[in-house]
């Protein structure tokens, strides 16, 4: 178990054992609901969540990576722990997720500064140890870079969509990827968010604490703002249009193209009987085999496996992408034409 | 191919498996692999689990498959349906095929065979004999095809060792049995990687998705010292070798690139990819459930074996991968292209009955260029 000093606890409060910390300070949870002197802490906790819900990062009382005094240290940590209590009491997943994300971004800033080791060399060691203990990634310093195994990098990087994160655009040498401190920390943001999210979800929800009802009610109000509606467009993306066109002309569409077309149309709600005729002009068309394969794709056959429409990245790799501006960086063809409210 | 040809090939293959069982590359962790096979007259049968090499031998003698496959992955329950196999890890595999290399020689040795009447045809539109549009193309890869494929293998191996730190001993190169090579890498850091991660490896190897900034180019005021140089890591060094040619040329080339501008830089990247990247089949590497041809087994497209290449440079597939017997066989051959096997030349044959060694007969029959009279 990583031993954290006082400064570190304030920077990375999610590593603290909540119950233990409060008990050590001699607090009971109920006191925060009834004692007017402690109400300020709950206000802070609520503020922490509200700010997170807006997509902002909570501005801490931590200057240059060090907390000024013990009292402020306590406020930092307690406000975090109380925020978790409030979240458990209101029980809304979207708020938990946004809070976890905001807290991970907050921790990122400290982690990055510690990795850079501008304050002291030992901070670097601590930061790399946190990364290792939480995520099992071994990160080593190499001049101004941080290096990790390619496989560890890829496991996280595949969730980023910007091209700069692709392995081909990274410095790669001897089985390792070289990253700046900022990139290293950015890489684990999602995982840190998941870690915090999991920790919150794993905590037991306490019964309602008198004095907390108002806060919880307000959180419900905030959460109402986050329901999104989507409008599904009817138009096909260019990759699908091209595939249909090729088949219509009687030319051969490679297996990957047929798979993409079939899974796309199935996902759009078309039936096997509606899709099958599209293939009738294919040079190697066989009605029985076509129906068999479409049935298999739709999960109709014995194994019940469901096949998803391939991602745009895969389609690009197979040479079947004919993107137009309307594609607008979508991840799969199924997103084409959708507008978010 | 009619039943006569299928029976003929079955006999030839059966004899090979009986006499050359030791050629088969029994994979490690055999009990965790999924096996599959095809017969000459039927489709693929998968989800087979074997405990020992003896069980494999029994399978080959009983089923006499046209093709035998083994998974690159290890599963807890290899014989269960895909969802329930419990994937544990998979070797890294690559497929290099001459037909993907856009070689100029292809037209000289590609033949169209009519699926309906079996006649060969020079055209690729419809059959000159019966007019059917169901034409299949068959290729007889030549020396240039093999040499070009070998070059891709070398590029790939270089990247695997230098950039990905694969152990040279863990990289196994095989002739596929027809038109290219398979490369297997075991015990690398990528064993646990899923499809998306392997797709990134593919893009790296082929230099797909590279942005100009990676090579020092900027939209405004690119810095000359940001451009790649010789001796730097991975793609920087490859870029330098492909674009500058020599150290003394570097300043001039950088000036040219800067003047040409950001918008035209992708063309430079494409040229580097062509000269230094390896042309692999992305579908194969990305598929973590792939079953690949078992080393030492025969390829029903040619009758040649998938052979391990200990020395890539000297490997000659038409000599080193041909194991069927020399017994004379009479076939009716319609093969407009001359080909060589075991240093003997055969063809061209214009729909005539000829007597050839079994290995040549099998080769032509597999390519649908001959029949049993």
Question: Residue A270 pLDDT more than 80?
Answer: yes
Which helix (H) or strand (E) is B350 found in, with range? strand B349-357
CB–CB contact A169 B233 (8 Å)? no
Q: Which of A136, A147, A150, A176 to mutate to test the interface with B (most CBs of B within 10 A)?
A: A150
CB–CB contact B208 A168 (8 Å)? yes
Å between A83 CA and nearest CA of chain B: 36
Q: Please, which pLDDT band fits residue A54 given cuts at 50, 70 and 90?
A: confident
Please give the Cα distance from B17 to A296 (Å, whole number).
34
Å between A303 CA and nearest CA of chain B: 7
The strand pairing partners of B114, in sequence order, are B135
Total length of chain A = 341
Nearest chain B residue (CA) to A171: B233
Question: What does the block give as tokens for B201?
Answer: 């490896």
CB–CB contact A167 B204 (8 Å)? yes
- Whether B215 and chain A come into contact, CB under 8 Å, resolves to no
Chain B residues 33-62 within an 8 A CB cutoff of chain A: none
Q: Which of B126, B127, B163 to mutate to test the interface with A (most CBs of A within 10 A)?
A: B163
Would you state the pLDDT for residue A91?
87
Question: Residue A284 pLDDT more than 80?
Answer: no
Helix (H, G, I), strand (E, B) or coil at B161: helix
Across A38-47, average pLDDT: 88
Would you state the pLDDT for residue A121?
66
**pLDDT tens across the length of chain B (373 residues):** 788 999 999 999 999 999 999 999 999 999 999 999 999 878 889 999 999 989 999 999 899 999 999 999 999 999 999 889 999 999 999 999 998 898 888 888 888 888 777 777 765 677 777 777 777 888 888 889 999 999 999 999 999 999 999 999 999 999 999 999 999 999 999 999 999 999 999 999 999 999 999 999 999 999 999 999 999 999 999 999 999 999 999 999 999 999 999 999 999 999 999 999 999 999 999 999 999 999 999 999 999 999 999 999 999 999 999 999 999 999 999 988 899 999 999 989 998 999 999 999 999 999 989 999 8
Rg (CA), chain A: 26
Would you state the pLDDT for residue B13?
95
Please give the Cα distance from B258 to A219 (Å, whole number).
55
Q: Please, which pLDDT band fits residue A1 given cuts at 50, 70 and 90?
A: very low
Would you state the pLDDT for residue B289?
94
Question: Residue A340 pLDDT more than 50?
Answer: no
Q: Which of B208, B210, B234 faces A173 most closely, judged by CB atoms?
A: B234
CB–CB contact A168 B214 (8 Å)? yes
Of the two residues B115 and A304, the one the predictor is more confident about is B115
Of the two residues A6 and B190, the one the predictor is more confident about is B190
Helix (H, G, I), strand (E, B) or coil at B28: coil
Most confident of A128-137, A305-314, B230-239: B230-239
The stretches of B74-131 forming alpha helices (DSSP H) are none
Q: Active-site residues of B: which are they?
A: 95, 97, 281
Strand pairing category for B87-90 and B171-175: unpaired
Residues of B in contact with A175 (CB under 8 A): 163-166, 189
Rg (CA), chain B: 23
Please give the Cα distance from B333 to B371 (Å, whole number).
6
Across A300-328, average pLDDT: 83
Residue B317: partners with Cβ closer than 8 Å, 6 or more residues away: B146, B175, B304, B307
Would you state the pLDDT for residue A339?
53
The stretches of chain B forming alpha helices (DSSP H) are 3-19, 53-63, 143-162, 195-206, 234-239, 250-260, 265-276, 282-286, 317-320, 358-366
Please give the Cα distance from B154 to A101 (Å, whole number).
45
Contact between B174 and B295 under an 8 Å Cβ cutoff? The reply is yes
CB–CB contact B193 A174 (8 Å)? no
Q: How far is CA A67 from CA A26, A77, A315, B5, B141, in A?
A: 21, 11, 51, 84, 72
Please give the Cα distance from A281 to A278 (Å, whole number).
7
As a whole number, the mean pLDDT across chain A is 82
What angle is formed at CA A315 by the lines to CA A313 and CA A316, rounded to 5 degrees? 65
Would you state the pLDDT for residue A63?
55
Q: Please, which pLDDT band fits residue A62 given cuts at 50, 70 and 90?
A: low
Question: What does the block give as tokens for B50?
Answer: 């074997």
- Whether B162 and chain A come into contact, CB under 8 Å, resolves to yes
Please give the Cα distance from B176 to B183 (Å, whole number).
9
The pLDDT tens digits of the residues spanning A242-251 come to 999 888 877 8
Find tokens 């080193």 and name the residue: B320
Longest CA–CA separation in chain A, Å:
81
Question: Residue A153 pLDDT more than 90?
Answer: yes
CB–CB contact B209 A168 (8 Å)? yes
Q: Which of A167, A254, A310, A331 to mutate to test the interface with B (most CBs of B within 10 A)?
A: A167
């Amino acid at each position: 178990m990583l031993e954290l000093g006082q400064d570190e606890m304030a920077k990375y409060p999610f590593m603290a054992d909540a119950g233990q910390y409060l008990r050590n300070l001699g607090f009971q949870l109920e006191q925060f609901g009834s004692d007017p002197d402690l109400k300020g802490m709950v206000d802070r906790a609520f503020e922490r969540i509200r700010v997170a819900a807006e997509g902002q990062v909570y501005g801490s009382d931590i200057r240059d990576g060090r907390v000024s005094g013990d009292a402020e240290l306590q406020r930092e940590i307690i406000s975090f722990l109380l925020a978790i209590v409030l979240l458990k009491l209101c029980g809304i997943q979207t708020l938990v997720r946004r809070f976890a994300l905001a807290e991970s971004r907050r921790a990122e800033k400290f982690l990055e500064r510690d990795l850079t080791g501008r304050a002291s060399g030992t901070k670097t060691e601590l930061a790399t140890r946190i990364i290792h203990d939480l995520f099992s990634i071994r990160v080593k310093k190499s001049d101004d870079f941080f290096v990790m195994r390619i496989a560890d990098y890829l496991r996280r990087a595949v969730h980023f969509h910007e091209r700069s994160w692709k392995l081909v655009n990274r410095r790669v040498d001897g089985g390792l990827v070289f990253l700046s401190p900022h990139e290293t920390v950015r890489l684990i943001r999602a995982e840190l968010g998941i870690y915090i999210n999991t920790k919150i979800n794993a905590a037991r929800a306490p019964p309602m604490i008198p004095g907390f009802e108002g806060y919880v009610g307000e959180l419900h109000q905030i959460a109402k703002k986050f329901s999104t509606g989507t409008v599904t467009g009817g138009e096909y993306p260019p990759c699908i249009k091209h595939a249909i066109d090729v088949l219509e002309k009687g030319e051969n569409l490679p297996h990957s193209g047929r798979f993409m077309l079939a899974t796309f149309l199935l996902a759009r709600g078309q039936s096997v009987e509606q899709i099958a005729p599209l293939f009738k002009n294919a040079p190697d068309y066989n009605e029985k085999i076509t129906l068999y394969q479409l049935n298999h794709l739709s999960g109709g056959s014995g194994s019940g496996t469901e096949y998803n429409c391939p991602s745009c990245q895969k389609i690009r790799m197979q040479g079947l992408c004919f993107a137009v501006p309307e594609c607008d960086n979508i991840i799969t063809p199924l997103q084409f034409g959708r507008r978010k409210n | 191919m009619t039943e006569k040809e299928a029976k003929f090939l079955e006999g030839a293959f059966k004899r090979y498996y009986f006499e050359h069982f030791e050629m088969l590359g029994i994979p490690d962790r055999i009990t965790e692999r999924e096996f599959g096979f095809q017969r000459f007259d039927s489709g693929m049968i998968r989800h087979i689990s074997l405990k020992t090499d003896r069980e494999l031998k029994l399978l080959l003698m009983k089923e006499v498959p046209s093709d035998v496959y083994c998974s690159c992955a290890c599963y807890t329950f290899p014989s269960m349906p895909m969802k329930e196999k419990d994937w544990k890890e998979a070797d890294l595999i690559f497929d290099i095929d001459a037909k993907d290399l856009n070689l100029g020689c292809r037209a000289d040795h590609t033949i169209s065979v009519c699926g309906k009447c079996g006649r060969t045809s020079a055209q690729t539109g419809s059959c000159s004999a019966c007019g059917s549009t169901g034409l299949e193309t068959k290729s007889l890869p030549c020396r240039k095809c093999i040499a070009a494929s070998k070059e891709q293998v070398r590029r790939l191996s270089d990247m695997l060792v230098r950039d990905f730190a694969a152990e040279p001993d863990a990289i196994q190169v095989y002739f596929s049995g027809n038109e290219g090579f398979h490369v297997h890498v075991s015990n690398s850091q990528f064993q646990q990687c899923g499809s998306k991660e392997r797709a990134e490896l593919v893009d790296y190897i082929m230099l797909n998705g590279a942005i100009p900034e990676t090579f020092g180019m900027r939209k405004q005021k690119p810095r000359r010292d940001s451009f790649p140089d010789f001796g730097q890591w991975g793609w920087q060094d490859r870029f330098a070798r492909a674009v500058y040619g020599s150290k003394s040329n570097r300043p001039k080339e950088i000036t040219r690139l800067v003047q040409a501008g950001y918008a035209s830089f992708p063309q430079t990247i494409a040229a580097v990819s062509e000269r230094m990247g390896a042309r692999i089949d992305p579908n194969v590497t990305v598929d973590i459930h792939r079953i690949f041809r078992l080393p030492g087994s025969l390829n029903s497209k040619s009758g040649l074996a998938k052979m391990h290449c200990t020395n890539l440079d000297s490997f000659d597939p038409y000599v080193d991968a041909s194991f069927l017997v020399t017994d004379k066989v009479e076939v009716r051959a319609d093969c407009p292209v001359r080909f060589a096997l075991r240093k003997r030349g055969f063809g061209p044959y214009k729909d005539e009955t000829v007597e050839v060694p079994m290995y040549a007969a099998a080769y032509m029959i597999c390519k649908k260029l001959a029949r049993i009279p």
